[in-house]
Amino acid sequence: MLNDLQARIGYAFHDQRLLLQALTHSTYANEHRVEGLVDNQRLEFLGDTIVNAAITRKVFLAFPGFDEGRLTKIRAELVRENMLVRIAQNLELGRHLRLGKGEEHDGGREKPSILADAYEAMIGAVFLDSSFEQACEVVDRHVDGAVGVLADIRISDYKSLLIEHCQARFRSVPELQVTEEIGPEHGKTFVVVVRVNGEIMGRGEGRNKKQASQQACREALKSLNYPLW
């Protein structure tokens, strides 16, 4: 069973115990204390740093013409929990996790936080079993499998980007305002406008205020000729 997982990971462990530890949730370890099992929390702590470093290097090499700000935004998209969850799902990591009975019953194999932590723990295990270079190669392949062409990555937090851009360019922050709520209570559409220095620069619609705000901020960035690659 672990051979199947290792084939999908693209790495064969020399020390299988490291892989098992990476797959061991704290609830499982607590239920099997007499066996002296160690959960994956320490490996997750290590793997978090390795994944961040590997993705930072990947982004740095992939976009030689981008400045620090743009590199930071792309990296942020790639290290988000939902991206790590997507990678974990591609690897079918969830079905190999060792969970306590309660966590199993509560659908722990599909919980984003558990999947993301397990992936980071696994990369920490790869690092300990081999080298930083090997761990980076593994992460590179996983990111490519989840994202496809790295140049096609798109930012999702347009609001934060717009705030940072306005602070740097205008020494002010944009103003967001919900101007309309259309439709019945159970199916509203929200309309948000963004003003920069008092001028409307973007408008967005969405099923919730957050979605509408993100769309409005994206439009504002385009109006300000900010490169969204």
CA distances from 191 to 43, 155, 187 (A): 44, 21, 13
**What's the DSSP call for residue 188?**
-
* Residue ranges in the chain modelled with pLDDT below 70: 151-156, 228-229
User: CA–CA separation, 17 vs 97, rounded Å?
Assistant: 14
Q: Look-up: residue for tokens 């980076």? A: 136
Helix (H) or strand (E) holding 166, with range, is helix 158-170
Q: For residue 76, what pLDDT is reported? A: 82
Q: Which domains, from first to last, does the chain contain?
A: 2-152 (1.10.1520.10), 158-223 (3.30.160.20)
Distances (CA, A) of 124 to 9, 130, 132, 153, 171: 13, 10, 9, 25, 41
pLDDT score recorded for residue 156? 67
Cα of first residue to Cα of last residue in the chain, in angstroms, is 42
Query: What's the pLDDT score for residue 152?
Result: 65
Q: CA 66 to CA 22: how far, in whole Å?
A: 35
How confident is the model at residue 159, as a pLDDT? 86
Q: Is 226 helix (H, G, I), strand (E, B) or coil?
A: coil
User: What angle separates helix 112-129 from helix 41-62, to the nearest 10 degrees?
Assistant: 80
- The torsion defined by the Cα of 154, 50, 68 and 156, in degrees rounded to 10, comes to 20
182 DSSP β-pair partners? 189
By annotation, the residues acting in catalysis are 48, 120
CA nearest 134: which of 219, 9, 8, 41? 9
